[in-house]
Amino acid sequence: MAVALFAAALVVPSLPPPEHDDCEVVTNCVFDASRRDAKVFSVRIELDAAPSNGVEVVFGRDADGDGLLSRTEEAMSVGYDCGEWKVVDLVTGDKATCDGASGRAALDWKLRLDADRSPRSLAATVNDQPAFVQLATPPPFLFDPAWDAAKVIRRGQLDPNLRVECSVDNIPLFIYIR
């Protein structure tokens, strides 16, 4: 018998099609980063990358409670835009980037957290290749347990294969009984 306990990932709902070619589409959703037992903050973005399109996930705190993450409530974004992957501190404007080739692409982001839920280490890959090596010592802006909202912004042509998943999890516990 095997028992596995996992936290459920937030799978961002499908974005509506744009009304015009090459325009921006945004969706907002609840994102609870407050788990006291949190050990890992994960983001996975899969898209058909091209220099003319992009997708980013923006995290922050919905301070006014309107269900929308406004510009003044945004804290951090991670995503692909105009041929590069980027991570941006939306408070200071600091950013880290890495090249992103065109075609099917996937970013896997695993930020390990200390007991106080501050960033400890980052393992990030794009198509299974190391990415964002300049964030080997992750800055504090990469995670905040006060985040309660996220939004996904897509620019460019409709990508029917776009997939975005985000989660704040404890490390899975496996119990094997023989």
Position 66, amino acid? D
Q: Is residue 3 within 8 Å of 174, Cβ to Cβ?
A: yes
17: helix, strand or coil:
coil
141: helix, strand or coil:
helix
- The model's pLDDT over 44-103, given as tens digits with 9 standing for 90+, comes to 999 999 888 889 999 999 999 998 999 999 999 999 998 899 999 999 999 999 988 789
Q: Is residue 9 within 8 Å of 42, Cβ to Cβ?
A: yes
Predicted TM-score (pTM) of the model is 0.84
Q: Quick one: pLDDT at residue 29?
A: 84
Task: Please compute the mean of the pLDDT values over residues 117-146 and round it to a whole number.
Answer: 94
User: What is the domain count for the chain?
Assistant: 1
Task: Check which CATH number belongs to the domain holding 99 and give it.
Answer: 2.60.120
Burial of 156 (0-12, 13-18, 19+ CB in 10 A): buried
Burial 28-59 (b: 16+ CB within 10 A, else e): bbebebebeebbbbbbbbbbbbbeebbbbbbb
pLDDT bracket for residue 15 (50, 70, 90): low
Q: Where does 80-130 have alpha helices with state H?
A: none
Rounded percentage of the chain residues whose pLDDT exceeds 70: 83
Task: List the domain range (segments joined by +) for residue 128.
Answer: 2-176
pLDDT bracket for residue 136 (50, 70, 90): confident
Residue with tokens 């939306």: 90
Q: Which two tokens stand for residue 106?
A: 């996937």
Asked whether residue 6 carries a pLDDT value surpassing 50, the answer given is no
Query: End-to-end alpha-carbon separation of the chain, Å?
Result: 7
110 vs 28, which has greater pLDDT? Answer: 110
Q: Which two tokens stand for residue 149?
A: 């909202």
Q: Is residue 65 within 8 Å of 75, Cβ to Cβ?
A: no
